[in-house]
Structure 1
């Protein structure tokens, strides 16, 4: 599976000035250029929908009405919304932005992991930001669930919890709620947001998911060895060419 990077960069107003109104759109996202027909359609559809969901959240609308719009059209709508705001509130200069960046992460297995970071600001106390991971079957582009990757899903939370606690620096015997983290019934649970990388599986929580905004985004990695090594992973490893 081969990717090419798509870049959309747009600016309205004088963003080089320290003050004053301006708005920016930046989309940097690799899209599939070469793959099987199904893989190309499935992975690119995921990427496009991620971009459109970002613009839909900024405009406070459902994603369905904008599903047929291109990235350029979505940027046009964002700037129109921004200009309407500045005309209605000329004494409230703001600097709006949409920043989307995608990356393809390497690993030793027959899958492709896509990471997309999205950050938006349309006024308020702080920008909104989140990161999403998705792991796809490289042959057909199917988005994989954790149960299609890890064999021992029954013990996954128990395996992963020590790595989470280490990442956020809390003692192994301290209740999660007392540490400022909110889980159902105060029991640790891995998120559905994950990706396979070279060293293991990254699990990722976005702001407000298990903690206040100030806690930021929280990622932790569970090494493949902790999951049983090659025997604990359902997907096959890439074939290594030898002379």
Structure 2
């Protein structure tokens, strides 16, 4: 009986450990030109890619890694492909980026231009209720300047599926009004002034939350990419909330930091 009881307790401990949502491990990946077979055949663009994948020993990794592959693949391929033809896997997207440059170089071998891809993807926050993955990237494929931006993937650790804003934030409409007041305060725009006064240009002069948002140790950040509310010269804009500020609106527990 004691042996059987010990076995049951051990089994429960193993199951508990396996279901510990904060225990999900991520593995660092790196891609450089030397790792790409196409670069053995012809001149290669400048590539520096670091990203993470969920440890494949975890049953949630299939769902999580598919979302990571799609996000990064679309970021990389968007530099050289139209929006309706984006690639949802990292390796094929990298091949497309390299092939685009090699085609260009084949047509203009005397041109000093080279394509550039810099991408860093990492875990920006993780606990038992939330995993936030951030991506900072820069691409250059010719012209006056390149393009840099950020992206986030916010995952439910239990399912591995990305949260929507509606799942994360209680009463998005009221929160948006609260966020506008914070944005105005942060940027010195009076409450009764046009939101597009100064350097910002909101469509129809109406404040909105960007599609890009994520979390770090300090709290929650909303990211407005270049061109979304201003010119290229204005660059991107961010709206940040501490955990204390965002806490009343969150549908998940505020972490005890």
1:6 aligns with 29
Partner of 2:70: 49
Question: 2:54 is matched with which residue?
Answer: 32
| Partner residue, 1:216 | 235
Number of residue-to-residue matches in the alignment = 227
Partner of residue 144 from structure 1, selected from 160, 163, 168: 163
How far apart are 1:140 and its partner, in Å? 0.7
Contact kept? 2:175, 2:249, Cα under 8 Å: no
Q: Please report how far the alpha carbon of residue 35 of structure 1 lies from its aligned counterpart in structure 2 after TM superposition.
A: 7.1
Cα distance change, pair 64–85 in 1 and its aligned pair in 2 (3 A): closer
Measured in 1, the distance between the counterparts of 2:249 and 2:94 equals 44
Partner of 1:122: 141
More helix by share: 2
2 CA distance for matches of 1:51 and 1:198? Answer: 23
CA distance in 1, matches of 2:57, 2:160: 9
List gaps (5 residues or longer) in structure 1: 12-20
Deviates more, 1:43-52 or 1:160-169: 160-169
How far off is 1:184 after superposition? 3.5
| Structure of greater relative contact order (alpha carbons < 8 Å, 6+ residues apart) | 1
Contact 2:77 2:94 in 1 (8 A): no
How far has the Cα of 1:76 moved from its partner? 3.7
Indicate conservation of the 8 Å contact 1:167/1:219, yes or no.
Answer: no
> Any conservation in 2 of the 1:42–1:141 contact (CA below 8 Å)?
yes
Quick check: which one's strand share is greater? 1
| Residue equivalent to 2:176 | 157
The answer as to 2:251 corresponding to 1:234 is: yes
Q: Which runs of 4+ in 1 moved over 6 A?
A: none
User: What are the superposed Cα offsets for residues 22-58 of structure 1, whole Å, 9 maximum, x if unpaired?
Assistant: 6211210011116752x32232112111221133222
Unaligned runs of 5+ in 2: 1-23, 35-42
Partner of 1:4, secondary structure, is: strand
Q: What is the rounded CA distance, in whole Å, between the counterparts of 1:159 and 1:184 in structure 2?
A: 19
TM-score between the two structures when normalised by the length of structure 2: 0.76
RMSD value over aligned CA atoms? 2.8
Rg comparison, structure with higher value: 2
